Amino acid sequence: MDFPLVLYSLIRIFARKNDDTGRKMADPRFTQFLELLKLCNRYKRINQWKSLYNMFTLVQLPYAMEALEPVISAQTLSFHHGKHLQAYVDNLNKLLPGSEYEGMALEEIVRKAPAGPVFNNAGQILNHELYFTQFKPAGEAVQGPTGELAAQIGKQWGSVEAFKAEFEAKGVGLFGSGWVWLSADADGSLVITQEQGASNPVVKGLKPLLTFDVWEHAYYLDYQNRRAAHLSALWQIIDWNTIAARYGR
Ligand SMILES: [Fe+2]
């Protein structure tokens, strides 16, 4: 119920008195009160629009649902994007209105929010946005690092194969649900990190470049318990042009 509007109408009906000619007129004291109520109502509506403006939306996939098969099936992608990620978006949009995080960019929320529902849902949105937008169909994805990124991987790991082996091993070895990331520090050095739950390397001041989602919802329909097989297959659809653009050096 629109309480200020109802109150406003009731007062207009009852807050009247007779003028010198006997006609009903509004009491000036109530006229001022009515203006105040109207202002309150307008402020409430402004806040509603503000909340709507600050809502997060589901990132659109830059490929068709079946485009990543057989590495990721259309069914897995549909559930992962349309159900799991959508739920994180919906949850965060319910948590933000009126909170200190309303109006902040997603990454800022993840960096500032303490452990809890806001951090978990914002973190999962950020993680999945980076995850889903790093893929291309196997025939279109650039299949290896180039330029500065390739040079840095070579410098730190000796070869792309050695880097991939460590990355996969850290994904397989992550206990429970989480993410394995390749990130860059401020100097451009690369680091592989394991992040539990919804965390993201931005919390550690790193720039996230590439990630494997090792929550079971990412692979269980297609691979069941074979996490290693899923992670090994993901390289086919990683678009290294996207990863190099994120590295940005
Ligand atoms: Fe996921």
List the end-to-end C-alpha distance of the chain, in Å, as a whole number: 55
* Å from CA of 128 to ligand 1 middle: 6
Q: How far apart are CA 61 and CA 77, in angstroms?
A: 10
Please check the confidence at residue 59 and state whether its pLDDT lies above 60.
yes
* Distant-in-sequence, close-in-space partners of 171: CB < 8 Å, separation ≥ 6: 180, 194, 212, 214, 227, 231
Residue 7 has pLDDT above 70, yes or no: no
Residue 161 gets which letter from DSSP?
A: H
Residue predicted with more confidence, 2 or 37: 37
Predicted confidence at residue 35, as pLDDT, reads: 74
Exposure b/e, 39-59, CB count within 10 A at least 16 = b: eebeeeeeeeeeeeeeebeeb
Predicted local distance difference test score (pLDDT) of residue 14: 62
How much is the mean pLDDT over the chain? 90
Query: Could you tell me the distance, in angstroms and rounded to a whole number, from the CA of residue 202 to the centre of ligand 1?
Result: 18
Handedness of CA 191, 211, 178, 175 (dihedral sign): negative
Per residue in 18-57, pLDDT (tens digit) is 656 666 666 667 667 777 777 767 766 766 666 676 799 9
Q: How far is the C-alpha of 118 from the C-alpha of 112, rounded, in Å?
A: 10
pLDDT, tens digit, 9 for 90 and up, residues 166-202: 999 999 999 999 999 999 999 999 999 999 999 999 9
Q: Are 237 and 68 in contact (CB under 8 A)?
A: yes
Q: Please answer whether residues 220 and 200 qualify as being in contact, where contact means their C-beta atoms are separated by less than 8 angstroms.
A: no
Banded pLDDT at 17 (limits 50, 70, 90)? low
Distance, CA of 225 to CA of 220 (rounded, Å): 7
What is the 84 CA–ligand 1 centroid distance (Å)?
7
Report the separation in Å between the CA atom of 218 and the middle of ligand 1, taken as the mean of its atom positions. Answer: 5
Residue 18 β-bridge partners: 24
| CA pair distance 5, 37, nearest whole angstrom | 8
Q: How confident is the model at residue 220 (pLDDT cuts 50, 70, 90)?
A: very high
Which phi and psi angles does 135 have, rounded to 5°? -100, 155
Q: What is the mean pLDDT of residues 79-87?
A: 97
Q: What is the pLDDT of residues 124-178, one digit of tens each?
A: 999 999 999 999 999 999 999 999 999 999 999 999 999 999 999 999 999 999 9
* Overall average pLDDT of the 82-91 stretch: 97
Q: Long-range contact list for 148-155, CB < 8 A, 24+ apart?
A: 148/188, 148/244, 148/247, 148/249, 149/240, 149/243, 149/244, 149/247, 149/249, 152/188, 152/189, 152/190, 152/247, 153/190
CB 87 within 8 A of CB 157: no
**CB of 152 within 8 A of CB of 182?**
no
112 alpha carbon – ligand 1 mean position (Å): 22
The answer to whether 188 and 249 have CB atoms below 8 angstroms apart is yes
- Which tops the pLDDT comparison, 41 or 236? 236
Distance 58 CA to ligand 1 centre (A): 13
